[in-house]
Amino acid sequence: MKINDNVLQACFEEGVTKVISCLSTCIFPDKTSYPIDETMVHNGPPHPSNFGYSYAKRMIDVANHGYYEQHGKVFTSVVPCNVFGAHDNFDKQSSHVIPGLIRKLNDIMEQGGKQFEVLGSGKPLRQFIYSLDLARLFVWVLRNYESVEPIILSVDESDEVSISQLAE
């Protein structure tokens, strides 16, 4: 949280007129209704597995509102859905869904295997956005979005895919 505070304070002191911070979908309450929207950020505690990280990210939103109310600064935040793209993290232990599946399939193929098994039910739905598309949306937010309220950057709900569909 200190890093976030220091960045926003430095931007204020140097006269930066707009700041866009990146939040995470893990900021949303663990027990919530779907579809989620920006107004639901502070409606309950996040999942215990992300507790500290989630609250640190939520505090960026609180600080943004403080800078707006006290100084009229439009410091805002974006909440992207799951991002994938070039230079992704393909580590076996810490990768996210898409690079994790790619890594798993690659390892199976290198070992001459033919069976690709995905753990779990495969039913959870996810939204994904390509990193360059997200970068374009960041530029749009910089040029066009004039609210301190966070904005979710994601695909349409009809574009959600299950883990099973993704693996296929």
Active site residues: 53
Hey, what are 110's tokens? 């290198």
What SS3 class is residue 81?
coil
Three-state SS for 86? Answer: coil
Q: How far apart, in whole angstroms, are the C-alpha atoms of residue 19 and residue 7?
A: 10
Distance CA 34, CA 119 (A): 24
Q: CA–CA separation, 155 vs 31, rounded Å?
A: 22
Are 130 and 93 in contact, with CB atoms under 8 Å apart?
Answer: no
The C-alpha atoms of residue 21 and residue 96 are separated, in whole angstroms, by: 21
The bridge status of strand 151-153 relative to strand 74-80 is parallel
Tell me which amino acid residue 7 is.
V
Residues in the chain: 168
